[in-house]
């Protein structure tokens, strides 16, 4: 199994600022992902964080708004840029080990509130 540490666990930010969320895995993983969970809604995949190259974004998400880094096999960051109240969500990091979708682990999430 893999243990994922995500920080901060929560933050309250002002409109127009940016927040970087960090995700650290205790072992090397093949893939890392970032999800968003808006209030009362399901988890939505933002992007796949690729080690050493640009992230792969899902429809509706762009790099300028959600820049992602993954400098090595155990660490990734997600930045929420130029925040607005609509960005208030829980952001979740996940990591995949092995070759099957069921070996997918999640961090405990970052609760972001934008005023």
Partner 1 sequence: GDSVTQMEGPVTLSEEAFLTINCTYTATGYPSLFWYVQYPGEGLQLLLKATKADDKGSNKGFEATYRKETTSFHLEKGSVQVSDSAVYFCALSGSSNTGKLIFGQGTTLQVKP
Dihedral through CA 58, CA 62, CA 68, CA 70, nearest 10?
A: 50
Helix%, strand%, coil% for the chain, nearest 5: 5, 50, 45
CA-nearest of 113, 112, 106, 103 to 5 is: 106
Q: Binding to partner 1 by residue 85, rule CB under 8 A?
A: no
Give 14 or 100: the residue with its C-beta nearer to partner 1: 100
How many residues bind partner 1 (CB under 8 A)? The answer is 26
Residue 95: closest CA among 75, 69, 80, 111: 75
Question: Which of the stretches 61-69, 70-78, 81-89, 102-110 binds partner 1 when contact is defined by CB under 8 A?
Answer: 102-110
- For position 31 contacting partner 1 by CB under 8 A, the verdict is yes
Nearest approach, Cβ of residue 82 and partner 1 (Å):
26
19 vs 25 by CB, closer to partner 1: 25
CB of 21 to partner 1, least distance (A): 14
Residue 109 in the binding site for partner 1 (CB under 8 A): yes
d(CA 84, CA 59): 20
Position 102 contacts partner 1 (CB under 8 A): yes
């Amino acid at each position: 199994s893999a243990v994922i540490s995500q920080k901060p666990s929560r933050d309250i930010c002002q409109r127009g600022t940016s927040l970087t969320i960090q995700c650290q895995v205790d072992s090397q993983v093949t893939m890392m992902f970032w999800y968003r969970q808006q209030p009362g809604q399901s988890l939505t995949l933002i992007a796949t964080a690729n080690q050493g190259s640009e992230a792969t974004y899902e429809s509706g998400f762009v790099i300028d708004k959600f820049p992602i880094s993954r400098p090595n096999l155990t660490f990734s960051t997600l930045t929420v840029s130029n925040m607005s109240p609509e960005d208030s969500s829980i952001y979740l990091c996940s990591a995949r080990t092995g070759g099957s979708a069921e070996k997918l682990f999640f961090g405990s999430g970052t609760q972001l509130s934008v005023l």
